[in-house]
A and B are shown apart, each in its own frame.
Chain A
Amino acid sequence: MPDSEKLQLLLEYSENLPDVPSKYGENPELMERVEECQAPVFIAVEGNAEAVELFFSAPREAPTTRGFASVLHAALNGKTAREITDLDDDFPGQLGLENLISPLRVRGMRGMLFRIKRKTKELLDS
């Protein structure tokens, strides 16, 4: 896929990130802040080993971050905990965005995946 199309696709993903349910919208402290992103991004993980639900909150003025969140949501929401924890840690690198977007920015997406995996493990342990 040409680079310009990849950016366009990421922009479309960013527009399609689902809104968080009102309990998170009204209580952002229930979510975890992803510190690796320069934009404020919050994630929450719910469900059980059979089906994990993911929630992301990121501001409209951070479309790249929203795009990353939306790609992760499309890839992982509703999957089993095992499928999530087994996902290659380098999934963000495999999207071929590092040269296009810069490794520093893609690090924010790595941070999101890292936290999703950790919170999924916590879900299994609880």
Chain B
Amino acid sequence: MSEQEKISKYASPEALVTTEWLAENLDAVTVVESNEDILLYDTGHIPGAVKLDWHTELNDQVRRDYLDGEHFAKLMRSKGISRDDTIVLYGDKSNWWAAYAFWVFKLFGHQDVRLLDGGRMKWIAEGRELTTDKPSRAEGNYPEVVRKDDEIRAFRDDIAKHQPSPIIDIRSPQEYTGERLHMPDYPNEGAARAGHIPSAKNVPWGKLVKEDGSFKPLDELQTILFEETGSSPQDKFITYCRIGERSSLTWFALKYLVGVKDVRNYDGSWTEWGNLVGVPIAQGEAPGVFA
């Protein structure tokens, strides 16, 4: 099966592009690189790509929240991005941060956003062109749009209301069971308690991608996300991880690849839930019961 055939079987094939397609369409799209590592873009990037830093640019620097419509519009204009641009996002770490940025673009209802299958790693592994030249772009045309949180973003109070619909915890098994915060003499991950939200199923994000960082084909994703979690495509889903970045990738797969209509990413994630007073927490391998 060719990469293009694989993508054509997904629920929203237009949301994912191959490295080959991007190489042929570089001039027609706005390529945006979003990485965990803030310096990686500067060591070399896809020609014409714009750098977008999730931590320092998409977040409000005072409140724990994303930018509002006014500041997002300013940011987009300054990057030379316009509302009707076709945006192709890619990044390091199998696209965690690119998927995160994708999700934020969707909070602002940006219509045409796509993810580069396999991200930065696959582009480089295929020996495709990189440059350290920074693109010079004219100011973009971006209106102020109200951020819409309700459709794709979950908040802490939504967790209890969401029961008994599926919650997917995409962290490592050690984080899920709670073993991870118990290592002696090591600073913890920024949460007061270890474990998972009761009822959440553990599907480590890495199960969704192949070794080259690109997504597994539709049938394999359906097995992992539905059969193995006892869920169905008609269910409503919530995904979470530590701060919401890895779970954006699973959010993307649920919504655009296997076609779940209602899926929200809980960006508060474990760094919020693991610090909340009085909320239920389960430890060990069993999902547990939310009560």
Contact = CB atoms under 8 A, between A and B. Distances in A.
B37 A7 contact: no
Interface in A68-126: 99-102, 104-105, 107, 110-111, 114, 118
Nearest to A15: B43
A7 B38 contact: yes
Contact of B55 (A39, A105, A118): A105
Interface stretch (A18-26, A42-50, A59-67): A59-67
A38 interface: yes
B36 A11 contact: no
Contacts of A35: 183, 186
A118 B38 CA distance: 28
B42 A101 contact: no
Interface string B28-52: 0000000011111011000000000
Q: Is the interface of B mostly helix, strand, loop or mixed?
A: loop
A61 B39 contact: no
B185 interface: yes
A36 interface: yes
A110 to B, nearest CB: 8
A61 B40 contact: yes
Contacts of A65: 37
Contacts of A118: 185
Contact of A11 (B42, B187, B243): B42
Contacts of A52: none
A101 B56 contact: yes
B61 interface: yes
A17 interface: no
18 contacts: A7-B39, A8-B42, A11-B42, A35-B183, A35-B186, A36-B187, A39-B37, A61-B37, A63-B40, A63-B42, A64-B39, A65-B37, A100-B56, A102-B56, A104-B55, A105-B38, A105-B55, A111-B187
